[in-house]
Amino acid sequence: MHSILTVTDSSRPQGRRVRQDEAPRREPRRGLLMGRPFGVPVYVAPTWFVIAAVITVLFAPTFESLFPDLGPWRFVLSFGFAVLLYLSVLVHELAHAVTALRLGLPVRRITIQFLGGVSEIDKPETARHEFLVSAAGPALSLVLGGGFWVIGLALHVDTLAGRMIALLAVSNLLVAAFNLLPGLPLDGGRMLRAVVWRVSGRPLAGTIAASWAGRVLAVVVLVAAVTWSLGADAGARTYTMIFGALVAGFMWAGAVQSLRAERLRERLPQLRVRVLTRRAIPVAASVPLAEALRRAHEEGARGLVVVDGGGDPVALVREAAVLATPEHRRPWVAVGALARDLAEGMRVPADLAGEELLVAMRGAPASEYLVVEPDGRVYGVLARTDVEHAFVAMMRA
């Protein structure tokens, strides 16, 4: 789980405001949308087709040795096994998602990819919720593995259906066992984090413990892969080494990233609108840019708020448009031609801070925001670039 910002030409000053179309940024495609069970979008990433092909090639000889008469159908059967295996992974991720939804935690999406699945869930606010959401996936995988095992006992083990059921039973049990390893970014690591969090009262303490455990496990996985490959033939040795290195790298990177994200989460409250806001002055839309900049310089301001006849703010002059306007043309360009109308979400409270600030900006992408006091008075202008610079500096600290 991964509990996750047109310059208008004008030859003379004009009072007309030109609305700039700054559409919200589209999130990058996550892959092929397969459906929305329980309202959660499920995507299959392109990398899944790679691992499906690998599984098809690796397991085809196994099915051929068990059933020599299959012929080319062994590849179809092997691919079918890959699909069933990752359907089990999907059910595992849905267990996380449904548990989170029942606890009131928003779930953005589930992505099935090369090394399994990822459920993007808002970070739980309590250790109990963290533990319950994390434990749900392995618990259901254990139930699936046990269920397939019981079904397999009722079937003849030497039949095609019996072999498939046995493979699914073992696969689900292995998925559960692997995910229960007590190290981030695995479910067991999140469960360990929740326990340490509950005992210490500090989420960061839990993340530190689970992150180091994850790094130790990554080394263990790599050493185990090397040791196992020493006794295998050349072909198996190559696959084992590559897969072991991929899993170990995934675990190490996930553990490091989880700790970095938690440290950043603790520092986020330092990201305060009042500290980052630029002083701004009100100007009419017809005022030439050169005159508006002169007034702003005299007032020590760095923001321009376009107001109507009654003095109410209606638009914000975009810094990028100002910088793109040559100095010799600034006396002839009205500020209204370089402004964006105030749209929904572009007014932010002066007391906003931390994660709430980032959520507000993500919900209404813009280059500038109008900052207002609780009583509605204008406090200034917040530039997205200032927030981004402060955020980067915070990450590097």
The catalytic residues are 93
Q: E strands of the chain, at which residues? A: 32-35, 42-44, 107-113, 116-121, 280-284, 303-307, 313-317, 339-341, 347-349, 368-372, 378-383
Dihedral of CA 218/220/226/229: which sign?
negative
What's the Cα-to-Cα distance from 31 to each of 27, 28, 36, 113, 246, rounded to whole Å? Answer: 12, 9, 14, 9, 21
- Distance, C-alpha 9 to centroid of its chain: 39
* Separation between Cα atoms, residue 298 and residue 68, nearest integer Å: 88
The number of beta carbons lying within 10 Å of the beta carbon of residue 299 is 11
Residue 137 CA, distance from chain mean position: 19
Residues in the chain: 397
Give the residues across from 280 on adjacent strands: 303
Q: What angle do CA 205, 207, 209 make, to 5 degrees?
A: 70
With residue 172 as reference, give the H or E element that holds it: helix 160-179
**Peptide bond preceding 68: is omega within 30 degrees of 0, i.e. cis?**
no
Look up residue 186 and give its DSSP letter. Answer: S
Confirm or deny that 92 is annotated as ligand binding. yes
Separation in Å, CA 296 to CA 83, 353, 388: 63, 26, 24
Mapped onto helix, strand or coil, the DSSP state of residue 220 is helix
Residues at the annotated binding site for Zn(2+)?
A: 92, 96, 187
